[in-house]
């Protein structure tokens, strides 16, 4: 029985070494440059990174991952897991003035995680070197362009001594209302949540066979839990082939998402509600006429409030291209529970509750609360009165309490916040 995603990657590299794990659309266009990595290659690159970390005694330490969109992040992330190093996904400073917001967040995460090494691409490492005199926190941190690690380093890799309770990575909250907090997600949490994603999204052996193991298309950022634990890691969990491209390329031309779905015909793809709104904004008759969305059975929608009006308008607009209302898949999750908590039923229409007086869209003529399904297996969800600490009756609005194997250990080095949230 697999103890971690590292074990599963090893299994896939052994039994289907030549299968493509990830296909990356470099420009976001289906007819543009495409990069691919097989399971054998992914395992070897991950082990090379892991061996480099192990040889420097970094097992148990934190490594920040700073990669532009692409496949480099994935092999480095899995390399950290394969070394017993705690991965810390981050956003590389880039663009105008090195993107002040990303730079500020990077500094906060480096300090909070007490990262000992930064793993990134050459461009990122070069940029950081140029900023070193303004960033004293980099003085004691090794910055490595992992492309420079030779494949032969993988031969020195040692299987790590991992347990379900070993911390796999720190998923930092957005920090929109307070300082970012690092959720300590364990290897056991990851496996449990991948099991839930697989079950709730209908990634059954029969579906996997029907789709030729090509189940997912995603543009979601891999440093965010929705994009990482969903499309990227469920790929390794099940031994799939997944098509990826940059969120920047989606934002520039939202039709790229739907064209990729039409070309690669996945079972599952999705994003926050705004992604569907953006796609609607750029929809044309010509675009719709050229699409075939009939393969799309799980159009997941989560990570922000889900609008019933969006579901209705998207269905009406793209029904001529084969999109079905039953494909919409509202879901709910949070970093503190790894990611996924509840999800709708596959190939069933969304459940709507008239809510003119409730929720974020109260007062709108067609306001409706969108049901986010039921909890994944092994999870319990309670709607509670946080002041009284009691469960509320059906139909009442309250605080969401979650328990089960996907709930993380707590916040990294933040005992007070952990006591307040993880009861």
Tokens of 132: 């070193």
Among 53, 82, 341, CA closest to 187: 82
Mean pLDDT score, 145-167 = 97
Residue 277 vs residue 1, higher pLDDT? 277
Predicted local distance difference test score (pLDDT) of residue 134 = 77
Query: How far apart are alpha carbons 31 and 312 in whole angstroms?
Result: 31
260 versus 131: the higher-pLDDT residue is: 260
Polymer length in residues for the chain: 423
Predicted local distance difference test score (pLDDT) of residue 220: 98
Q: Is the pLDDT of residue 96 over 60?
A: no
- Tell whether the model's pLDDT for residue 355 goes beyond 70: no
Q: C-alpha distances in angstroms, 357 versus 354, 366, 419? A: 9, 11, 34
Please list, in sequence order, all residues whose beta carbon lies within 8 angstroms of the beta carbon of residue 139, skipping any fewer than 6 positions away.
132
pLDDT at 360 over 70: no
Please count the other Cβ atoms lying within 10 Å of the Cβ belonging to residue 278: 17
* Owner of token pair 């030729």: 212
Element spanning 20, H or E: strand 20-25
Q: How confident is the model at residue 137 (pLDDT cuts 50, 70, 90)?
A: confident
Mean pLDDT of all residues in 160-173: 96
Q: Count other C-beta atoms under 10 Å from residue 395's C-beta.
A: 8
**Residue with token string 């965010």:** 224
For 281-294, how does the pLDDT look when each residue is reduced to its tens digit (9 = 90+)?
Answer: 999 999 999 999 99
Q: By the 8 A CB rule, do 338 and 185 touch? A: yes
- Biggest CA pair distance of the chain: 64
Residue carrying the six token digits 């039409």: 262
Residue 353 has pLDDT above 90, yes or no: no
Distance CA 42, CA 49 (A): 11
Find tokens 């379900």 and name the residue: 164
Residues 6+ apart with CB under 8 A from 291: 258, 259, 261, 262, 318, 321, 322
E strands, 52-104, in order: 62-66, 86-90
Question: Do residues 371 and 410 touch, judged by C-beta distance below 8 A?
Answer: no
Confidence of residue 175 (pLDDT cuts 50, 70, 90): low
pLDDT bracket for residue 306 (50, 70, 90)? very high
Q: Give the pLDDT band (50/70/90) at residue 366.
A: low
Residue 29 confidence (pLDDT) above 80: yes
Residue 177 has pLDDT above 70, yes or no: no
* pTM exceeding 0.75: yes
* 101-116: average pLDDT: 90
Residue 399: the pLDDT is 95
Which of 133, 36, 144, 22 shows the shortest CA–CA distance to 83? Answer: 144
What integer is the mean pLDDT of 59-80? 97
> At residue 307, does pLDDT exceed 70?
yes
């Amino acid at each position: 029985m697999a103890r971690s995603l590292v074990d599963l990657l090893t299994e896939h590299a052994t039994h289907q070494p030549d299968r493509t794990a990830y296909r990356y659309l470099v420009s976001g266009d289906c007819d543009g440059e495409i990069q691919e990595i097989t399971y054998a290659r992914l395992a070897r690159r991950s082990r090379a990174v892991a061996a480099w970390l192990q040889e420097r005694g970094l097992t148990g330490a934190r490594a920040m991952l700073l990669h532009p969109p692409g496949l480099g992040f994935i092999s480095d992330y899995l390399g950290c897991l394969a070394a017993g190093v705690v991965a810390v996904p981050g956003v590389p400073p880039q663009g105008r003035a090195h993107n002040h917001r990303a730079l500020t967040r990077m500094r906060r995460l480096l300090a909070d995680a007490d990262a000992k090494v930064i793993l990134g691409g050459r461009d990122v490492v070069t940029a950081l070197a140029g900023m070193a005199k303004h960033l004293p926190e980099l003085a004691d941190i090794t910055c490595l362009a992992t492309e420079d690690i030779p494949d032969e380093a993988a031969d020195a890799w040692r299987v790590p001594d991992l347990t379900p309770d070993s911390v796999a990575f720190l998923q930092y909250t957005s920090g929109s209302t307070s300082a970012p907090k690092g959720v300590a997600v364990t290897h056991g949490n990851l496996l449990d949540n991948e099991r839930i994603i697989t079950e709730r999204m209908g990634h059954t052996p029969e579906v996997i066979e029907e789709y030729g193991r090509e189940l997912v298309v995603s543009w979601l950022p891999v440093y965010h839990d929705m994009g990482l634990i969903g499309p990227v890691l469920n790929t390794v969990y099940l031994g799939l082939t997944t098509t990826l491209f940059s969120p920047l390329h989606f934002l520039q031309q939202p039709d790229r998402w739907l064209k990729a779905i039409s070309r690669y015909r996945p079972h599952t793809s999705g994003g926050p509600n705004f992604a569907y709104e953006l796609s609607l904004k750029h929809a044309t008759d010509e675009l719709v006429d050229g699409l075939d969305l009939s393969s799309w059975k799980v159009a997941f929608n989560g990570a922000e409030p889900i609008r019933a009006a969006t579901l209705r308008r998207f269905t009406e607009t793209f029904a001529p291209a084969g999109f079905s209302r039953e494909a919409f898949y509202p879901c709910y999750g949070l970093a503190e529970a790894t990611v996924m908590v509840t999800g709708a039923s596959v190939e069933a229409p969304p459940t709507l509750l008239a809510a003119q007086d409730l929720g974020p869209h109260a007062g709108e003529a067609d306001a409706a609360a969108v049901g986010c399904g039921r909890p994944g297996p092994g999870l319990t969800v309670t709607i509670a009165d946080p002041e009284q600490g009691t469960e509320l009756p059906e139909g009442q609005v309250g605080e969401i309490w979650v328990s089960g194997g996907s709930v993380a250990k707590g916040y990294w080095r933040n005992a007070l916040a952990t006591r307040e949230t993880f009861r």
